[in-house]
Amino acid sequence: MKAVRLFRHAGGTTFRAPLFIWQVPAGFPSPADDYMDKRLDLNEHFIRHPEATFYCRVSGQSMTGAGIFDSDILIVDRAVHPAQGDVILAVLDGDLTCKILDRRNRRLLSANDGYPPIPVREGTDFQIEGVVIHSIRSHRVRSR
């Protein structure tokens, strides 16, 4: 899966949307409640290190098994230490890619059986840009 655009996190921004106190069932409909618990600031829930966080839009199908799909936006944190099995954004021979880190076997893994592992050999230009901590997907079909 290839990263196609990078965006910096605009630190200090606040967007507070209503947070309803009742959970919304995904099964059968229930009556709507007009009661809000509080305002929800998405930064509080998704951004831990504002100065080290950036976003990118991805393309491709290699990470669908991890719930990352073509055109999703990834929230990437450079301050998080990459661990075995983390989804990361990396530069591999000059190209940005989103893969699963397999430190034990020195390779990058896809989350789709149609894509083989990528070995990271000695001398390979390889750098981890950050750990993918969340992904954002639009569920509304848009014309491009």
Q: So which residues are the catalytic ones?
A: 62, 99
Give me the long-range contacts of 54-57 (CB less than 8 A, separation at least 24): 54/6, 54/7, 54/8, 54/9, 54/78, 54/130, 55/6, 55/7, 55/8, 55/9, 56/3, 56/4, 56/5, 56/6, 56/7, 56/89, 56/96, 56/98, 57/3, 57/4, 57/5
